[in-house]
Chains A and B, each alone.
Chain A
Amino acid sequence: MNGIIQNIFVFSSLTIAVVFLVRKFVWTPKKKTTKTCGSNDCGCH
């Protein structure tokens, strides 16, 4: 029983670590906000 719980912990930590690394290096969620001062009413309301 103890062994199973420990294994569950191991695999969940592994999943968290892998997801974190993938997000960090391979697939970066891009939040590009292009705030130019040229669009809609020149931005200076």
Chain B
Amino acid sequence: MTLAELKRGQNAIITDVSSKKIPLKLLEMGCLPGNSVELVQVAPFSDPMYLNINGTHLAIRKETAIHILIETNDA
């Protein structure tokens, strides 16, 4: 599944980052395969998404989140 489908309060592990669509800056902020991600809060219409990626708190838009693949812990 993609990061855009994550629910508020849910945790997951990033499995793959579609490198052509994702700018380097996001990777440098810790958005790398293997790192954990938690959806902290969403704005109305669940966009943008307020994430905790490996201890770094940041917000990205849904249109970026669909290019990040994740795996939830319980799956």
Is there direct touching of A and B in the complex, by C-beta distance under 8 Å? Answer: no
